[in-house]
């Protein structure tokens, strides 16, 4: 059986094709103004890498914020359901899943079978999602890819008092004017995001092990801050940003 | 499943929690008519259970939409909680 999962995220669209439970190929594109066109790009990339045509797919399931606008999908699953199913596949020992994307953070508690028991989504606050690091790296004039590593060089922990991404940017500028080292500011930014995420995770209850998925898991500065906030280690699966798409493809297989 | 809909911002945490295990045997669906703003809907979730959820359009502003039911003094019982006979709904603030 060949299935595909499409994760229609706010910033990126990711496609994963499964054949009898094995990953055949992945595709990725940036979510542009025309999300259907962006989905087509990622979908075609995955098909090309897999060496198959769309007709050979038995089922296509979409997830993510824009799941209803994936033209290829025959069915949908919620972000929470897909994240839980995908995480159970790649980190079956995990009972708490933290999924952080560009615009949203989610905390999910699952049972031993990957079924969602409790969940919380931060629907609104950008200060608890990936776009916050983008905005702050711009304010610091540091490449986003270097921003996480920069914070690991920090020698002093400074609090970031602003609770909002907009005000935080002003605070970053003030810290720069005060000659605060960029490394310390970068750490303060990551600590601020982690604070919000940890608070959300505590709402559903922390149950070990904890898996971190989503593209923000690629940011070493955030991962470090999260581990400190949770006071425990987290599992980061390979290709953690594709776990949502994997979950959708698995849901397609399960059905 | 305890589903937390809402957000946290600089002023606090604003979540409506629906214990969907209580929705399973509910045919009354009082939440739909009980909320003056019509914030609730009943859907079939990923596990084919019929559960209540907060509509997408309300999730980012529940603090403001719920404000009418939460006067500072002489607060009456929340209509959504009063209407939900299985007791599935709680508010974090």
A160 touches chain B (CB under 8 A): no
Contact present, A179 and A158 (Cβ < 8 Å): no
User: With the C-alpha atoms ordered A197, A89, A116, A131, is the resulting torsion angle positive or negative?
Assistant: positive
Q: Write down the H helix ranges in chain A.
A: 35-50, 79-90, 130-140, 144-152, 165-177, 182-204, 220-230, 243-254
Contact present, A252 and A166 (Cβ < 8 Å): no
Region B46-67: what's the mean pLDDT? 92
Q: Measured between CB atoms, which of B1, B6, B9 is closest to A118?
A: B1
Range(s) of chain A covered by CATH 3.30.420.40: 1-91+239-255, 93-236
Indicate yes or no: CB of A124 within 8 angstroms of CB of B1: no
How far does Cα A210 stand from its chain's mean position?
14
Q: Measured between CB atoms, which of A81, A167, A199 is closest to B46?
A: A81
pLDDT of residue A163: 65
Bridge partner list, A145: none
Report the CATH number of the A93-236 domain: 3.30.420.40
How far does Cα A20 stand from its chain's mean position?
25
pLDDT of residue A192: 87
pLDDT of residue A139: 87
Complex-level ipTM beyond the 0.85 threshold:
no
Three-state DSSP class for residue A107: strand
pLDDT of residue A27: 97
Indicate yes or no: CB of B2 within 8 angstroms of CB of A117: yes
Bridge partner list, A122: A105
Closest residue in chain A to residue B6, using alpha carbons only: A123
The answer on pLDDT for B10 being more than 80 is no
DSSP states along B24-86: TT----HHHHHSTT--EEEEE-TTS-EEEEE-GGGTT-HHHHTGGG--SSSPPPPHHHHH-TT
Percent with pLDDT over 90 in chain A: 69
Cα B60–Cα A69–Cα A84 angle in degrees, nearest 5: 65
Region B55-69: what's the mean pLDDT? 92
pLDDT tens for A102-125 read: 878 899 999 988 899 999 988 666
**Residue A70 to residue B29: CA distance in whole angstroms:** 31
**Residue B78 to residue A231: CA distance in whole angstroms:** 37
The answer on pLDDT for B12 being more than 90 is no
Q: Measured between CB atoms, which of B8, B45, B46 is closest to A122?
A: B8
Q: Name the pLDDT band for A132 (thresholds 50, 70, 90).
A: confident
The pair of structure tokens assigned to A115 is 């079924």
Q: Name the pLDDT band for B86 (thresholds 50, 70, 90).
A: very high
pLDDT of residue A147: 92
The answer on pLDDT for B60 being more than 90 is no
Q: Please report residues of B whose CB lies closer than 8 A to that of A105.
A: none
Q: What architecture does CATH give domain A1-91+239-255?
A: 2-Layer Sandwich (3.30)
Mutate to test the interface with B, among A124, A132, A196, A252 (most CBs of B within 10 A): A124
pLDDT of residue A102: 82
Region A49-77: what's the mean pLDDT? 94
pLDDT of residue B73: 81
A255 touches chain B (CB under 8 A): no
Indicate yes or no: CB of A125 within 8 angstroms of CB of B4: no
Q: Measured between CB atoms, which of B9, B11, B15 is closest to A120?
A: B15
pLDDT of residue A23: 96
């Amino acid at each position: 059986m060949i299935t595909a999962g499409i994760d229609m995220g706010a910033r990126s669209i990711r496609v994963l094709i499964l054949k009898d439970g094995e990953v055949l190929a992945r595709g990725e594109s940036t979510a542009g103004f025309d999300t259907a066109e962006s989905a087509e790009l990622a979908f075609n990339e995955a098909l090309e890498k897999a060496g198959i045509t769309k007709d050979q797919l038995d089922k296509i399931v979409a997830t993510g914020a824009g799941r209803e606008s994936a033209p290829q999908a025959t069915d949908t699953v919620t972000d929470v359901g897909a994240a839980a199913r995908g995480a159970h596949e790649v980190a079956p020992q995990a009972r708490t899943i933290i999924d952080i994307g560009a615009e949203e953070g989610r905390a999910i508690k699952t049972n031993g079978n990957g079924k969602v028991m409790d969940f919380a989504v931060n629907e609104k606050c950008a200060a608890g999602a990936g776009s916050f690091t983008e905005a702050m790296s711009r304010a610091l004039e540091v490449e986003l890819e270097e921003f996480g590593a920069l914070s690991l060089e920090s020698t002093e922990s400074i609090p970031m008092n602003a609770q909002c991404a907009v005000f935080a940017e002003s605070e970053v500028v003030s810290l720069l004017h005060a000659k605060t080292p960029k490394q310390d500011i970068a750490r303060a930014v990551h600590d601020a995001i982690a604070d919000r995420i940890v608070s959300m995770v505590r709402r559903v209850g922390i149950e070990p092990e904890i898996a971190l998925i989503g593209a923000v898991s690629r940011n070493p500065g955030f991962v470090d801050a999260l581990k400190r906030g949770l006071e425990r280690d987290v599992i980061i699966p390979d290709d953690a940003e594709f776990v949502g798409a994997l979950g959708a493809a698995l849901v397609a297989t399960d059905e | 499943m305890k589903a937390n809909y809402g957000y946290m911002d600089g002023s606090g945490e604003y979540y409506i929690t629906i214990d969907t295990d209580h929705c399973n045997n509910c045919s009354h669906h009082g939440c739909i008519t009980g909320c003056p703003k019509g914030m609730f809907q009943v859907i079939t979730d990923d596990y084919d259970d019929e559960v209540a959820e907060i509509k997408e359009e309300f999730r980012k502003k529940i603090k403001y939409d719920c404000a009418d039911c939460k006067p500072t003094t002489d607060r009456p019982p929340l209509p959504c909680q009063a209407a939900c006979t299985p007791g599935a709904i709680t508010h974090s603030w």
